[in-house]
Structure 1
């Protein structure tokens, strides 16, 4: 009997690797004869870098780049094979880098993300995965583009200020000065959302408030992003207005498409492909996936569903462990998950699962081992 543990992180508590380890430790306590294999996963959000580097035996590189407000920060990216890199925008432009009372998408920039991409190019990488979850920005990726050499100018020919508000002053884009290595490189954008750049489901109106924008600023950001889209279409001949996923990470999706000719894909599909997940399913009898909260959004293409769909193509049973369930959680049962195991309130209280998740996850692992024993599979 072989069990493959392929969870995502439990946001705010444990990394995907730590979740997988805790579940496997619990399983070994009640089913020591079962073979446990670990494959921590992700869907393009925070944790994508660690999941890919750890699973591929890659290596981390660290560079000093600019955070969302222009202060130096040490940020990592990963080399995951010859000429292949993974960049996680949250490392340089993430909301976790900014105290909650300092959030300001009017000024926050993705310049540091562009610096990380540039560092990957300096390492000779010509295939780059960019994970774009957890941003503090709504600048449409303008900062990222500037870091790679693009010139975004106002009517006087001066560089526009950083941040979403600066886009309202945009008059001209010149991409002739972008690093030539960009044109030689394939960029895959791993994203877990499909929001467009503009409109009621767009970057400003959906994500602006989460990043500190008040109602008036949300509307200003919408207007600035609309101007940005107009200039991108005129100067680069790229229409990002209606592209699915262009609004991801405060419009960084749009910038990556327009300046890097990147391809936006389901984050979990990009990650599982990079992990060669299909080959890891060989000889597996049970897959255990999971994330901190399973709800309707999970069924829309988050890690547990991506893992379950892959497992079902091989006829493998799938269990999903979660800290708690939310509205619409049952929708994952139609996407390949056979059973949901909720830690709270079944195995631990919600407070315990947040404060000390590892013992709760070990308890879930023990339950899985006991279940296999009862079924005669252990």
Structure 2
């Protein structure tokens, strides 16, 4: 019996997933160069050139189309300081990544939510929103979305890419989970479909470790030049040593085996949460993902995330406030995100069992009101 508190609040990697021995080897190799290593000196605001070159070659791009930062979220801040002006209209999925919402609000952007369906954004709603006002950009997490777990279908991606090209708005494709597919086959990214209109964000946080703080941006060289100039005047450069270690990791051929190891570790956890929800919350609508870090459910009528969180805490389960993922918080009253990668299958089963008991305890109270 698991007695400890089970934490469903944050989408973090499992500690046992970190390739510590290989990272130590790579760090030692970088530092063995002594004072000759570029890793210990000031560098370019674009980021460590050898890693940019490795990424560019992998994607068939020029190095001017690749930029690095201290985590991919920093690029949202940089975009809000350069490409996007205050009060411009930005489309987001509903729900979407809460930290991006926070940054867009901080910069006083006009945020318009596009409802999310089980196979991606509602195209009728998106088309109607474009007809009302063409946005400056559409921020979209097309693979294993945070917070829902939804993957946008190829047909929807093709239509979204076509509209971006037709109407001239940017697609900000956030893709940190794209390589963590546990089922099925990959579909083309928006960057593949509309490279001239897409700025693709990603990160090594979910693949190697969050502590590396290495985010990536691929896209239009002119846009990246604006970002690089602003970055240089703000923080000079991202963390050069971290990028050099990640570069060594990639060039030694460690990344692909690491990704396969992550898939083997996380797929049973996805299966565990699917089974647990079916067993303990059988009448609850849910999104069943094919990869990534997140599973989500819609709580029954009359059960809000506020009610659930309070009683779940007493039962030893911590959950996020679902309202934080919605531009209009009241729309998220019954939404619950369940990150599963950092928990063992046994912890997942016990945590969902406790949540099921809490939901059952709340529902009879409501029926008597």
Query: What TM-score, normalized to structure 2?
Result: 0.26
Structure showing the higher strand proportion among its residues? 1
Larger fraction in helix: 2
Q: Which has the higher contact order (CA 8 A, sep 6+)?
A: 2
- Give the TM-score taking structure 1 as reference length: 0.25
